[in-house]
């Protein structure tokens, strides 16, 4: 069959139907290729009757993260239309996702040189340059793009790449500025949250180093050292540093509390409890409104069997700060053991309302309602417990993936690669 017969058999309605099918396929993709299907030149300019097959296979392969096949198909399309900005953009995207950064860079530069230049090509090129370690070039390219409207996927890709470029350059303040809008927009995105925490940690380290340089004998230096030693488990040394800080500033807020917490963590003995109790009481003399010290005192009294004293301090803790869920859980347990199940239920229901994503709260409330004969309520809370636990497992897996990608950026899970801009 010659070309004229092919064109005749397709007809106007057949060609429009093909375009519509391609558009719907692209919209279903997690990696948006919508603009590729809007670029009618990919079909109109192609003299080959199988142009639609190349395009369909390219879309399907990209959806399936089969980047080798996707690359082959986009190159086949470019063989008939080498100057298509959209085809070059999509090939560059596939190369980027497959970690072929040098090839992606050259392809995306060609895309930007082919009219009309696409904003998505600039974003992808900036992200590619950052992966290649060309951080200054990436910053120069990406910063202006963020001043223009971008869709969600493009903005996320641009901001994450810009953050990494600033971070690698040691400019943690600008790295934080690039990332904060994403933290507000995607508050449960593990990659964003991990990068945010890493940036705050570096900013804190810079501040501490500056304190040590300005005043090496400052009580703040001892406080910072104590915190670092405590995190390493060297609690005797940490306590000594806190004592040195308190010798310079006896009313230093939080120091006695941290010493008490170290005793509670590492000295699991009656003597350790007494030492911790003294520290928490000393903290309350400095700050009578410290809810966490009240809670810790209550915990020690529960352990010592002094339940009346424990209830007083635990009630005081939740009065000072109603969001302290651990205090409500301990208080509910003590109240339930004393037979005051109504007040125990009040504490657990308040905790569930304040922190609906706390699996322990729902589990404890389900058991209490079951004991009280509220079968439907118990079943409702148990369902919430199962749902929250499942969500927590998913978030934990996402966080672990984010950490792995940070440690081994060249071994990304393709499913976790940043979405391509539309």
The pLDDT of residue 333: 97
The pLDDT of residue 3: 38
The pLDDT of residue 37: 43
How would you class 397 by CB atoms within 10 Å of its CB: exposed for 0-12, middle for 13-18, buried for 19 or more?
exposed
The pLDDT of residue 47: 54
Q: Which residue is associated with the tokens 């959806």?
A: 63
Under 8 Å between Cβ of 158 and 142: yes
Mind spelling out the 3-state secondary structure of 323-338? CCHHHHHHHHHHHHHC
The pLDDT of residue 402: 61
The pLDDT of residue 395: 74
Spell out a b/e string for 404-419, using b for 16 or more CB atoms within 10 Å of the CB, else e: ebeeeeeebeeeebbb
List, for the chain, all residue ranges whose pLDDT scores fall below the cut of 50.
1-43, 45-46, 406-422
Under 8 Å between Cβ of 126 and 157: no
Residues contacting residue 341 through CB under 8 Å, at least 6 positions apart: 335, 368, 371, 372
User: Domains in the chain and their CATH numbers?
Assistant: 3-170 (1.25.40.10)
The pLDDT of residue 351: 96
The pLDDT of residue 409: 39
The pLDDT of residue 117: 82
Under 8 Å between Cβ of 347 and 311: no
The pLDDT of residue 19: 42
**What Cα–Cα distance (Å) separates residue 319 from each residue in 176, 347, 354, 384?**
35, 12, 14, 27
> Closest by alpha carbon to 285, among 296, 273, 294?
294
Under 8 Å between Cβ of 126 and 138: yes
The pLDDT of residue 42: 46
pTM of the model: 0.58
The pLDDT of residue 214: 83
Residues contacting residue 264 through CB under 8 Å, at least 6 positions apart: 272, 273, 276, 296, 299, 300
> Which letter does DSSP use for residue 150 in this model?
-
């Amino acid at each position: 069959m010659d070309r004229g017969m092919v064109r005749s058999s397709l007809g106007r309605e057949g060609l429009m139907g093909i375009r519509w099918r391609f558009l719907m396929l692209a919209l279903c993709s997690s990696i948006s290729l919508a603009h590729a299907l809007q670029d009618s030149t990919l079909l109109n300019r192609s003299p080959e009757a199988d142009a639609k097959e190349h395009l369909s296979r390219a879309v399907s392969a990209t959806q399936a993260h089969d980047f080798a096949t996707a690359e082959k198909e986009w190159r086949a399309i470019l063989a008939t239309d080498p100057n298509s900005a959209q085809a070059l953009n999509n090939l560059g995207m596939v190369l980027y996702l497959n970690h072929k950064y040098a090839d992606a860079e050259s392809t995306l530069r060609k895309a930007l040189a082919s009219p009309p230049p696409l904003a998505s090509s600039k974003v992808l090129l900036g992200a590619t340059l950052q992966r290649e370690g060309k951080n200054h070039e990436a910053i120069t390219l990406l910063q202006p793009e963020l001043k223009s409207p971008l869709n969600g996927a493009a903005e996320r890709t641009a901001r994450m790449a810009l953050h990494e470029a600033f971070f690698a350059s040691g400019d943690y303040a600008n790295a934080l500025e690039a990332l904060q809008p994403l933290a507000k927009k995607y508050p449960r995105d593990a990659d964003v949250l991990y990068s945010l925490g890493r940036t705050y940690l570096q900013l804190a380290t810079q501040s501490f180093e500056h304190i040590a340089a300005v005043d090496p004998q400052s009580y703040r230096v001892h406080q910072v050292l104590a915190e670092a030693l405590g995190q390493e488990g060297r609690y005797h040394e940490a306590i000594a540093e806190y004592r040195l800080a308190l010798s310079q500033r006896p009313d230093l807020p939080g120091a006695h509390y941290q010493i008490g917490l170290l005793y509670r963590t590492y000295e699991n003995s009656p003597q350790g409890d007494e030492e911790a109790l003294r520290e928490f009481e000393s903290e309350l003399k400095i700050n009578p409104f410290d809810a966490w010290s009240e809670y810790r005192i209550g915990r020690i009294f529960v352990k010592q069997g002094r339940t009346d004293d424990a209830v007083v301090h635990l009630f005081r803790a939740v009065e000072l700060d109603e969001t302290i869920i651990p205090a409500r859980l301990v208080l509910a347990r003590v109240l339930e053991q004393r037979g005051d199940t109504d007040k125990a239920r009040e504490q657990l229901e308040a905790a569930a309302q304040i922190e609906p994503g706390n699996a322990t709260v729902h589990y404890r409330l389900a058991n209490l309602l079951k004991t009280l004969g509220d079968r439907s309520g118990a079943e409702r809370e148990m369902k919430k417990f199962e749902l929250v636990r499942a969500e927590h497992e998913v978030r934990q897996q996402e966080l672990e993936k984010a950490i792995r990608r940070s440690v081994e950026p060249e071994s990304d899970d393709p499913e976790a690669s940043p979405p391509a801009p539309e």
